[in-house]
Structure 1
Amino acid sequence: MTTNKRTASSLINDDIEAKKLKTEIDSTSLISTISKESIPSFVDDNITKKKICEYGEKCYRQKNPKHTAEYDHPSTSASTSAKDVNKRLTPVEKIEQSEPYRFFLSTVHGIQDNYNQTNAISLKEILSVEHGQLTRSAQFNYMFDIEFLLEQYPSEFRLKPLLIVHGDSRDDNHSLKTQCSPYPQIELCPARLDIPFGTHHTKMMFLLYETGLRIVIHTANLISQDWRQKTQGIWISPICPKTNDTRESKTNFKKDLLDYIEQYRTRQLQFWQKTINEHDFSSINVHIISSTPGRHTGANINKFGHLKLRQTLKNYLNLENNEQYYSAPIIGQFSSIGSLGPNANSWLTKEFLTSLKQLNTNSFDSPELKLIYPTVENVRTSFEGYIAGGSLPYNMQTAMKQTWLINYLHRWKADHRQRSRASPHIKTYLRVTNDQYKNLLWFLVTSANLSKAAWGVLEKNNTQLMIRSYEIGVLFIPKQFSQTIFPLFDSSSFPIPYDLPPVKYESTDKPWIVDMTYKNQPDSHGNMWDPHD
């Protein structure tokens, strides 16, 4: 079990340093020390060397940790019928069938294959040659395994120019340069982080084909474990054709994307700025909600962070004057929690909730706020076991200062997508009607966790929004899909990632905290978690 201990210890090294500095740090940075080399050997063994159980899903020993540590039970094993295999969709078919939302979860190893077909896609499928001839690409992210990333590209595309946009203050910058040194086609672009303890947390792809430009905005790091047995969110644009004019979408997607890219202030992105300008984005129907480091004032105060979300909801959420909308619950779901203040009204239910509850009316509603974050039991029983908690870096120092937060917390549960055991790294925010959660008012998938660093905090009598990190997401509003509301229970349902309504923590439930010891019960691989030994 020492492998677990080494990994957990490496995760909290940054936390220890943060205590010495006595300053706020976005808890997502705790995970920055994980690399391919630091993942325990037993995880690699489970990922690459498991045998397929001949009994498949019917195996009665699936609850036996020793058996599941050695054998996988996918529906795509030898017992799968030819009929089931024929149901599999090609990458192009998957995207076609995802219309109009084009929103996916990542495929998950170990669940029934049909749950990996509809509104689910893998990294290899995103980069498949079936989409056309790729000429070059750019990958924006927080964590990279370059060898893993190149393996996901088709062999004929691996020598195409690739720009890697990463944070410039990461401890492993040298490691990233070393990883890229054998590949002359790769160029590194460091993102400036002028405010301490911010991160380059954005997860986005630019894929330039001979036929046009595709934008992918998602929630996964570019490392193998993020794409195997976790729940991730992915939005994939159409391939936007080249144009002689500056065709824009009805959501101002092009303008907002260029505003975001401009904040990097680097020549290495000039090619992509020019390329974005040259392509027709009129087919895109989602809004960009992004964050960039800085103290945003004047005309720029509503361009980024939670104020951008507030302004967009106010401008575009055209709802009839119906009281049920005023009380419609708001749900936030995330994989990390920052320092939110000594009470709920410090930031969460005052400043942040004011943005989330914005309608296009002057209502003074007080909607219920429900927050979804994995319990210790969620992590223990996940496909990965306790190691999944390495991607949920909520630490004890922060948690002890905001014990009030547990009153808002709800379990991770995704039975209808068969992902209750696929630990969530996805981050989403949404609003549902309170008539048994039948309809959706809006939906946001983003890289932004629940933190001031990601969303921003108002300063100087609300005249300035201070943001530490780079983040990006896409917002779905019914009006842009020619709908008044998104249905959740019919043939055109929005593909919601988790079960509704959320299940509130019981008295025995505790939020996962990465630097706590868990030795009462073994996880799904028979292991314990001890970060201190």
Structure 2
Amino acid sequence: MNADEEFARKLQLQFDAEFETQEKQMKEDAILAQKLAARSHNLSDSDEDDVIVQSTMATTSSCGTVKLSQNEKCSETSLHSMSDSDADNDENCGDEQVKSLATNSQADRKVNNKPPCKYGAKCYRKNPEHLKEFYHPGKDEVEPLNSEESKKEFNPPPLKKRKYEDYKSRYQKDFAARHLASAPFYFFLNKAYSVKETHEDPLTLVFPDLLSNSLGDIVESLQLTFMVDLEFVMKYYKKAGLEGKPVLIMYGIIEGQPSDYQNLTCKKVDIPIQYGTHHTKMMIFLYTSGIRVVIHTANLVEDDWYEKTQGYWVSPVFPPLGNGKSSLLEGESPTQFKQSLVNYLLAYKVSALGRWANIVKGYDFSSCNVMLIASVPGYHTGETMHKWGHMKARRAIKSHAGSCKNSLPIVMQCSSIGSLGKDAKSWLSSELGISLAPTFEKTASQPKVDIVYPSEEEVRTSSQGYLGGSCLPFNMATYAKQMWMDQHFHLWRSEGRKRSKSMPHIKTYTRPASPDYSSVLYFMLTSANISKAAWGQLQKQNTQLFIRSYEVGVLFLPKFIIKESEFKVTYTREKNCLCFPYDMPPTSYPSGTRPWLMGVGRKKPDVFGITL
């Protein structure tokens, strides 16, 4: 056995030991999410043209419970925990903290299975039989809240049936027009159905918008995703008149039978590295007139699109090279997007994606103004090390982004956090931070990092209550081992985009260019959370980058998009200004605030009276 094999063997044993200690907690998280989803309001299947909308919109969640085939049964929560939490943490600190938090969690956790009284906390009845039969938020197992305003929150709104068309504002143009008007960024968020203010935002979309014939005549399409609900996806393909058009779906987890749909091919992505996952979210649409790429953060399941905050880069249509040409070099952009996309598709080593790589070669991407930043599993060395993960981001930002004062932080906004080590210097600031701030002067200190991640209170008062945290699988055991992160946490605030109540499944990275955060040096939208599995970890004296998972994102650089050195931050559509998904500067957690954690009991009811 050579030195490399011995090193890999020892590393794998280390990873296995760490994973075993976390596996039990992840299973508990899955059970918790299942209970929460089971107690929420469900969508009706009675009319496929109708959508039942309510403030909780509890459907198959991006991290809730999913029905799976017999050989793939598990909860989305546990899978998100595996994908977004590094199993490669070699630290053993915090065991007492884990034990203490777990003990408190078990003592606090109490899920009430009684049906809720229709009068909620305002019920005046004192009949013991009534109190025994129905659940009363504020009266059962929890202390009554003091304010009348808080009590009002406990009355869930009645179910309402609304046609999908009800969400198309009469003030909005068709999506093709809105897409054209979104240039040069082509950056969108989704409409959060229970947050009405988001319906009027011209820089928002819904899944059917991407299938609209106003964007072009789709010949065939490719979907790469972690999770897919075939009924959800194919329903909208059918409504768009695309039934029978070839669709290839590369996935990690699937619900539904591909054989039920015409011309649909589904392939599970093989992950060569243990505990890695196929976390990529990308679409490619082939039209009669060209090709379009969509890179985003939403799983292909209802709740991800209906309620959570997601981000989407929707490219313009890239025309064919002409004369039947197919070339990797012709039709390339200054951002090298075409070559990066082809290399990413080929990295799967799957013939079906090799075909799509050849299709991409036949189109002119010269107008593409973003860079592709992707991760593929493996041990990357030499020049290959700079093609993937945070090392690709490091080279891109160092080569093309402007500079700022060292005192200004990197802002990382995510939906989950992996095991990062005993302190920020272990990986967060020393490795990922340096990559996202390559102009940082080498001093005794390292780049400051601000993390935007929802607090427990923000989830409790969100549009879905505690169910809003179903896509935030930050694990209690992981947090207990790295409570140094408290000094980095910032609230999820999106008053500028009217979506503070819509919990974020979006992931973004940026660095301010000015002390007032009115401008930024770059902006990245990606599927990658803050984890070593997603971004990679340097090994062997920084000569090797080890990555576990598939990820993909796009890097917006002022140099290529507006021919300037920085983007001005705004919250409405303005010429050459980046419409940000959350408020800048971020607000630090108030003293005593705890991040949202899976697997923690909560006595205080959420806005629908639910406790955990």
Q: Find the aligned partners of 1:443 and 1:29 in 2 and give their Cα distance.
A: 35
Q: Partners of 1:270 and 1:414 in 2: how far apart?
A: 40
Identical aligned pairs, as a percentage? 36
Equivalence map 1:270-419=2 (5 Å): 270-319=354-403, 324-359=404-439, 366-419=446-499
RMSD: 3.2
1:486 has 2:567 as partner = yes
* Structure 2 residue 197 is the aligned partner of structure 1 residue 197: no
String of CA shifts for 1:68-110, please: whole Å, max 9, x gaps.
4326799x999x9xxx954112111110121110001111113
Correspondence 1:159 to 2:159: no
Aligned to 1:42: 40
Describe the superposition over 1:100-145 as per-residue Cα deviations: whole angstroms up to 9, x where unpaired.
1000111111334565432111111111121121111111000110
Q: Deviations over 1:444-494 (max 9, x none)?
A: 000000100000001111110000000000000110021221112565321
Q: SS of 1:227's equivalent?
A: helix
1:148-194 deviations in whole A, cap 9, x for unaligned? 01122234102211101113xxxx5xx64x52121241112232211
CA distance in 2, matches of 1:186, 1:33: 32
SS for the counterpart of 1:423 is coil
Superposition map of 1:61-72 within 5 A: 64-70=152-158
What count of residue pairs does the alignment treat as equivalent?
Answer: 487
Pair member with larger Rg: 2
**Residue 233 of structure 1: how far off its partner (Å):** 0.5
Counterparts of 2:17 and 2:602, CA distance in 1: 22
Superposed, 1:492-531 pairs within 5 Å as 492-519=576-603, 521-529=604-612
Q: 1:35 to 1:345 in 2, by over 3 A?
A: closer
Aligned-pair CA distance for 1:21:
4.5
> 1:528: how far off?
1.5
Change (3 A) 1:20 1:498: closer
2:333 to 227, 230, 249: 249
Alignment partner of 1:420 out of 500, 508, 525: 500
Q: Could you say if the C-alpha distance between residues 38 and 422 of structure 1 is closer, same or farther in structure 2, counting changes exceeding 3 Å?
A: closer
| C-alpha distance in 2 between matches for 1:355 and 1:21 | 27
Alpha-carbon separation, structure 2, partners of 1:139 and 1:164: 5
- The verdict on how the C-alpha distance between 1:293 and 1:77 changes in structure 2, with shifts beyond 3 A counting, is closer
TM-score, normalised to structure 2's length? Answer: 0.74
Give the Cα separation in 1 of the matches to 2:406 and 2:412.
17
Report the secondary structure of 2:283's partner residue.
strand
Helix, strand or coil for the counterpart of 1:434? coil
- 62-71 vs 411-420, which moves further: 62-71
Matching residue's letter, 2:298: A
State the one-letter code of the partner of 1:40: A
Indicate conservation of the 8 Å contact 1:327/1:434, yes or no: no
Amino acid at match of 1:141: T
Change (3 A) 1:32 1:100: farther
Question: CA–CA distance in 1 between the matches of 2:539 and 2:434?
Answer: 16
Amino acid aligned to 2:315: S
Please say if residues 62 and 68 of structure 1, whose CA atoms lie closer than 8 Å, have aligned partners that are also in contact.
no
Aligned match of 2:175? 91
**Range that drifts further, 368-377 or 198-207:** 368-377
Distance 1:226 1:114 in 2: 15
Check conservation: 1:413, 1:420, Cα contact below 8 A: yes
Q: Which moved more, 1:267-276 or 1:331-340?
A: 267-276
What are the superposed Cα offsets for residues 386-437 of structure 1, whole Å, 9 maximum, x if unpaired? Answer: 1121211111111111111111001101011011000000000001123311
Give, in whole Å, the separation in 2 of the partners of 1:518 and 1:243.
Answer: 58
1:231 correspondence with 2:309: yes
How many angstroms does 1:38 deviate by? 9.3
The answer on whether the counterparts of 1:218 and 1:232 sit within 8 Å (CA) in structure 2 is: yes
- Aligned-partner Cα distance in 1 for 2:391–2:408: 20
Name the SS of the counterpart of 2:431 in structure 1: helix
SS of residue paired to 1:494: strand
| Contact 1:115 1:418 (8 Å CA) reproduced | no
Q: Distance in 1 between matches of 2:191 and 2:512?
A: 26
Aligned-partner Cα distance in 1 for 2:291–2:484: 46
**One-letter amino acid of the structure 2 residue matched with residue 104 of structure 1:** F
Report if the CA contact (8 A) 2:512-2:520 is conserved.
yes
CA contact (8 A) 1:143 1:222 kept: yes
Unaligned runs of 5+ in 1: 1-17, 53-59
Where in structure 2 are the equivalents of 1:67-146 lying within 5 Å? 67-70=155-158, 85-113=169-197, 116-146=200-230
Task: Call closer, same or farther: CA 1:51–1:445 in 2, change over 3 Å.
Answer: closer
Q: Distance in 1 between matches of 2:338 and 2:567?
A: 24
TM-score, with structure 1 as normaliser: 0.84
Once residues 331 and 66 of structure 1 are traced to their aligned partners in structure 2, the CA distance between those partners, rounded to angstroms, is: 34
**Is contact 2:52-2:161 (8 Å) kept?**
no
8 Å CA contact retained: 1:335, 1:391: yes
Distance 1:197 1:31, change over 3 A: farther
Structure 2 unaligned regions, length at least 5: 1-15, 45-49, 56-147
CA distance in 2, matches of 1:206, 1:147: 20
**Contact 1:31 1:390 (C-alpha < 8 Å) held by counterparts:** no
Residues 191 and 198 in structure 2, CA contact (< 8 A), matched pair in contact too: no
Check conservation: 1:335, 1:373, Cα contact below 8 A.
yes
- Distance, in Å, in 2 between the alignment partners of 1:204 and 1:30 is 31
Q: What is the rounded CA distance, in whole Å, between the counterparts of 1:37 and 1:218 in structure 2?
A: 29
SS in 1 for 2:226: coil
Provide the rounded CA distance (Å) in 2 between the counterparts of 1:286 and 1:20: 38
